[in-house]
Amino acid sequence: MLTMALSRTADARTAKIALAVSGDERMQTDLKELVEAFEKEQPLSGDSLGLLQGAQAALSRINTALRSRGYYDPRISATVDGRPIAEAAALDAIDARPENDPVSFSFDVATGPRYRIADVVIRPPGSETSLPAIDRAQLGLSAGDPADATAILEAQDKLITELRKQGFALASIKRDVVVNHATQEATVTFVAETGPLARMGPVRFSGTDKVDTVWLQRRVPFKEGELYDPAKVEALRGRLTSLGVFNAVRIKPASALDPSGELPIDVELTDRPSRSIGFGVAYETQLGFSVSGFWTHRNLFGQAESLRLTAELTHLGEGYAILDTGFAFRANFRKPDWWLPQQDLRLEAAGLREVLNAYTRNAVTAYAGFDRTFSPRWQARIGLAGEVSRITRNGITMNYGLVGLPLSILYNRANSDLDPTEGYRIDLDVTPWVYSRDFFTIMRLTGRHYVDFSDSGRSVLATRASIGSEPAVSIGGIPPDKLFYAGGGGSVRGFVYQSAGPRDNFNNPLGGASVIEASVEFRQRIGESWGAVAFVDAGSAYPDFLPDFSWFAPRVGAGVGARYYTSFGPVRVDVGFP
pLDDT digits (tens, 9 = 90+) for 498-552: 899 999 888 889 999 999 999 999 999 998 889 999 999 999 999 999 999 999 9
Strands 360-373 and 378-393, by their bridges, are antiparallel
Query: Could you give the CA distance from residue 513 to residue 547 in angstroms, rounded to a whole number?
Result: 8
pLDDT for residue 101: 87
Alpha-carbon distances of 123 from 129, 146, 195, 406, 415, rounded to whole Å: 9, 22, 14, 57, 35
Q: Which of 503, 511, 445 is nearest to 478 (CA)?
A: 511
In this prediction, residue 11 has a pLDDT band, given cuts at 50, 70 and 90, of low
pLDDT at 560: 95
**Would you say 261 and 199 are in contact if contact means Cβ atoms under 8 Å apart?**
yes
Contact 481, 435 (CB under 8 A): no
Q: What is the pLDDT of residues 74-125, one digit of tens each?
A: 999 999 999 999 998 999 999 988 888 899 999 999 999 999 999 999 988 8
Quick one: pLDDT at residue 357?
Answer: 87
Q: By three-state DSSP, how is residue 149 classified? A: helix
pLDDT tens digits along 298-327: 999 999 999 999 999 988 876 656 667 899
Percent share of the chain, pLDDT over 90: 75
Q: Calculate mean pLDDT across residues 367-376.
A: 94
For 233-260, the pLDDT digits (tens) are 999 999 999 999 999 999 999 999 999 9
Residue type, 132: P
Residue 3 confidence (pLDDT) above 60: no
Query: CA nearest 131: which of 194, 69, 182?
Result: 194
What pLDDT, in 10s, does the model give residues 145-192?
Answer: 999 999 999 999 999 999 999 999 999 999 999 999 999 999 999 999
CA 313 to chain centroid = 32
d(CA 207, CA 217): 15
Beta-strand pair 262-271/246-253 = antiparallel
**Amino acid in position 225:** G
Are the CB atoms for 19 and 31 separated by under 8 Å? Answer: yes
Give the pLDDT confidence score for residue 129 in this predicted structure. 62
Other CB atoms closer than 10 Å to residue 511's CB: what's the count? 26
pLDDT, position 323: 65
Number of C-beta neighbours around residue 488 at 10 A: 21
- pLDDT score, position 127: 65
Is pLDDT at 68 greater than 80 in this prediction? yes
pLDDT of residue 449: 98
pLDDT at residue 9 in the model: 37
Cα gap 573→578, rounded to integer Å: 17
Average pLDDT of the residues in 221-231: 95
pLDDT at 353 over 70: yes
Mean pLDDT, all residues of the chain:
91
Q: Quickly state the pLDDT bin for 405 (edges 50, 70, 90).
A: very high
Q: What's the pLDDT score for residue 399?
A: 95
pLDDT of residue 181: 92
